[in-house]
Amino acid sequence: MIPAPFSYRRADSVAEALDLASEFGDDAKFLAGGHSLLPLMKLRLALPEVLIDLGPVRELSYIRAEDGHIAIGALTRHHDLEHSEVMARSVPLLAHAAGQVGDPQVRHRGTIGGSLAHSDPASDLPATVLALDATLVARGPAGSREIPAAEFFQGLFETVLEPDELLTEIRVPVPGPDAAGWSFQKFTKRAIDWAIVGGRGAGPRGRPGEHGGHAGAGGRGGARAGRRGSARRSRRARRGRHEPGRRHQRQSGLS
């Protein structure tokens, strides 16, 4: 339960964090709340030679209502999401899901970006942003890029983030006036446990015979997302994949 030796670097801005990531390459990992990465390091399942601490980077901690969506900084803590009036009014599903993460200690330290970049299908937030059709923003040496949530997660502990990229923002569409509601379901042995199986859904009101909306599912068996179209449209679904032997190869981003 003792991690391997590593060096510690502290970043005070996004620019400094990206410079450090470029300097150390694959040997470095970003550290946000630490509730995902540090347990793996103690088990020696993750062996970064350099930790880049993002704690002082306050520019990535915010919740803002913008044109048609809610912009959330990647270092926004679960507790802040849970108790945000903006989230409760505009995206209550995500506010509720943040309140289901771990226990109060975890929610006061853990961040939304760390949870998403960790890409554990049994955690609460990946399936939630899939159900909400969110867009994730990553920044690297070549600039920023927008990634649909359905394309961000590649499998167990895998995302499309490159080692020198940092997840900076999550953009969640504000449901329109035809939104009917949402549901969050999670089955666990104890309230603070990882989900054995879980599901989240959000969708609009429709005419008789039509069904629309988004759904996300997670749990120890994997994660998947899909959109169920109306009777006039074909069904579309995206499924995560688990490739043996690649369990911890792509944990860049935040942890």
- Annotate 91-139 with DSSP letters as a single string: -HHHHHHHTTSS-HHHHHH-BHHHHHHHT-TTSHHHHHHHHTT-EEEEE
pLDDT tens digit string along 111-126? 999 999 999 888 899 9
pLDDT of residue 53: 98
- 200, β-bridge pairs: 184, 216
pLDDT less than 50: residues of the chain: 205-212, 219-221, 223, 227-252
pLDDT at 216: 52
Nearest to 185 by CA among 196, 201, 199, 170: 199
pTM score, two decimals?
Answer: 0.78
What pLDDT, in 10s, does the model give residues 118-149?
998 888 999 999 999 999 999 999 999 999 99
Residue 122's pLDDT is 84
Q: How many CA atoms lie within 13 A of 217 on its CB side?
A: 13
According to the model, what pLDDT value does residue 189 have? Answer: 65
Q: How far is the C-alpha of 235 from the C-alpha of 140, rounded, in Å?
A: 35
Given a contact cutoff of 8 angstroms between Cβ atoms, the answer to whether 114 and 97 are in contact is: no
